[in-house]
Each structure stands twice: as structure tokens, then as C-alpha cells.
Amino acid sequence: MHFCLTGQYTPQALNGILVNPSTNRSEAAKKVIEAAGGKMICFFSMPADGPGVLVIFDVPDPHAAPAISGLVVASNTLHNVQLKRLLTQDEVVQVRQRLLNFVRHTRRLANRLVQLVAGSLAANEKPRFGETGGFRTEGRGCGVSGLPSIQL
């Protein structure tokens, strides 16, 4: 799983960098990430919003990323840290497929609900879904809200 970690150096870290300006901060980041079982993809320095870094890394365990972030903050190296999950295009395709499957499943359930409710209605009442997604019948509403709007 890919993550992007950004943050600004703390005053303490900046003092350490000034004492030894040739220190390679990317090597330190790489060691921390590898200790957590991950692999550093890239490391960039960011001058905007104060001196900081942007690190993209890959870890097999999703719980390792917040642990890495916590370690960096606890060591007083970075502050204003943000950790974001990144998705590869293959993962995006999987998410889209899951969404499509969920929508299909939800529609099947909604149609089944309509069939069950329709069987208990008088012959002259025609069930349909309202524009807001709630179930409606001619003359009375049935309190099923939050379902996707489906025209039967």
C-alpha cells in the first residue's frame, strides 16, 4: 500500500540540519521505512510552508504507515504531519468494480423490497421509488429512506 507523508521540520530538527548541513535526511527516512517492512519510493524537500519533506513509500501492512508517522512526530523531527493513502490505477479499478457490485446488490435488494411491499398493498396502489430515494406508494409513504432512487 502506498502512502504520502508530508510535514515541516521542527525547530529542533532544523538546528540539527544547520549543525550538519550535509546530512542526508532521505537515508534516515529510508531506514525508518525499511525497519517497518516498507520501501521508500521517493523523497523530496519542500521549501513552501517552511522547510519540509514529502515522502512516498510502500508498506505491505496498512498499520505500518501510521506507526511510521507517529515515530517521526514522537522523535520531534517533523510537525504538521499529514499521512495520505495513495491508490495505484489497479487499485482504483478494483474500487470502481466494488462500487458497481455494491450498486447492483443494493438495487436487487431494493427491488425485492418493492416486491414484498407491493404484495401487501391494495391492487390499485402502484409502488415506486421517490426522487429522493424514499419508497412511495400512491396515497401513502413507507418509511424506507436512504435507498438509491430506482424507477420501476
Using one digit for the tens of pLDDT, what is the confidence trace for 1-54? 999 999 999 999 999 999 998 988 999 999 999 999 999 999 999 998 889 999
Indicate the SS3 state at residue 127. strand
Residue % of the chain over a pLDDT of 70: 78
* pLDDT number for residue 110: 81
Distance CA 58, CA 115 (A): 48
Nearest to 6, CA basis, from 44, 33, 35, 39: 44
Please say whether the beta carbons of 130 and 136 come within 8 A: yes
Q: Which CATH architecture has domain 2-86?
A: 2-Layer Sandwich (3.30)
Of 95-99, 114-118, 119-123, 126-130, the least confident: 126-130
* pLDDT number for residue 36: 95
Indicate the SS3 state at residue 110. helix
Domains in the chain: boundaries: 2-86, 97-141
String of b and e for 117-148 (b: at least 16 CB within 10 Å)? eeeeeeeeeebebeeeeebbbeeeeeebeebe
Nearest to 121, CA basis, from 105, 133, 138, 109: 138
Helix axes 25-35, 64-74, angle to 10 degrees: 140
pTM exceeds cut of 0.85: no
60-94: pLDDT as tens digits: 999 999 999 999 999 999 999 999 999 999 999 99
